């Protein structure tokens, strides 16, 4: 089946906070974010996990940190690789605050006996997020830069020696579909897929070690067109479609072909002003980065209200 074929070329990562789904599809890694944790926290089967986190926390901030790590710890029981745990998107423009939060999360994992090599700290691909990642990587704390929509972001992450980036395929295609008034694209013109291919070829041609993990997929075509990408993070619904899809999966991305497929003659480097200007000139990336930060921040705030109510109930009991 297509899923097993895909695993020959690409590391499969589950894009969910649902432990049962992770067990079903047996990915190597798993990713979480505030939206996924919010969805999982509402599931009856995880009520005990949420309650135990609240009961062991004195403040809302402590409870939120512990909850994210608690889900990560459960995920690490069923995946052999790494889990990505996200720093609050509301800190996306504060380098020092992101660094402090990342260190706090890593300490909570360490207190639970988990080595930092099994954790990826997720940060938004803002200039501040990338600079926070650069500092953290120098300390041996590995980072996953998310909300990735443009080459300036990808180049800055590679130069910062970030462990992994997550370009958002589906959201890129959504934006161009709305802009152009089309409901679908063919394989060759699919905007999100083309972007990830470009980043992949650029990284491989110039020898960057940063891994590329395609994310935010809308359909199996987008996924299969990126067979060979370092990693792909996929929702349970699409994992199920791939599991039952009786299709051969040819490799689409290959490091040996990267040099001929990448048009750049030399690697690029960006200072802060160049990064901000080039990102500003990319309407799609500017829109989707801001929207993504707002969306994750809103879901984090909603989750906070749920946890705060539980803390109040605990204190008045």
Residues contacting residue 107 through CB under 8 Å, at least 6 positions apart: none
Question: Phi and psi at residue 31, in whole multiples of 5°?
Answer: -120, 150
Structure tokens at 288: 């989707």
CB-count exposure of residue 135 (10 Å: 0-12, 13-18, 19+): middle
**Exposed/middle/buried for 210, CB within 10 Å: 0-12, 13-18, 19+?**
buried
Report, as residue numbers or ranges, the catalytic residues. Answer: 122
């Amino acid at each position: 089946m297509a899923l097993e074929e895909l695993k020959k070329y690409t590391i499969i990562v589950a894009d969910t906070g649902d432990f049962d789904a992770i067990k079903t599809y047996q990915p190597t890694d798993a990713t979480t974010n505030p939206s996924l944790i919010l969805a999982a926290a509402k599931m009856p089967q995880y009520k005990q996990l949420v309650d135990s986190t609240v009961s062991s926390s004195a403040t809302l901030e402590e409870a939120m940190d512990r909850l994210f790590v608690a889900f990560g710890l459960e995920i690490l029981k069923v995946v052999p690789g790494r889990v990505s745990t996200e720093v609050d998107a509301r800190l996306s423009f504060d380098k020092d605050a992101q660094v402090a939060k990342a260190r706090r999360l890593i300490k909570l994992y360490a207190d639970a006996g988990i080595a930092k090599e099994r954790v990826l700290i997720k940060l938004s691909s803002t200039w501040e997020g990338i600079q926070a990642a650069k500092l953290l990587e120098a300390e041996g704390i590995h980072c996953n830069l998310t909300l990735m929509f443009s080459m300036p972001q990808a180049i800055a992450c590679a130069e910062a020696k970030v462990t992994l980036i997550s370009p958002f395929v589906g959201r890129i295609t959504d934006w161009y579909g709305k802009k152009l008034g089309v409901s679908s694209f063919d394989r060759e013109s699919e905007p999100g897929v083309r972007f990830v291919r470009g980043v992949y070829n650029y990284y491989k041609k110039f020898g960057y070690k940063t891994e590329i993990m395609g994310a935010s997929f809308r359909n199996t075509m987008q996924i299969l067109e990126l067979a060979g990408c370092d990693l792909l993070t996929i929702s349970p619904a699409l994992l199920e479609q791939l599991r039952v899809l009786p299709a051969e999966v040819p490799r689409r991305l290959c490091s040996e072909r990267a040099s001929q497929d990448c048009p750049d003659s030399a690697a690029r480097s960006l200072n802060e002003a160049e990064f901000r200007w080039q990102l500003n000139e990319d309407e799609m990336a500017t829109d989707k980065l801001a929207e993504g930060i707002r969306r994750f921040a809103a879901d984090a705030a909603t989750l906070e209200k749920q946890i705060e109510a539980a803390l109040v109930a605990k204190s008045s009991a």
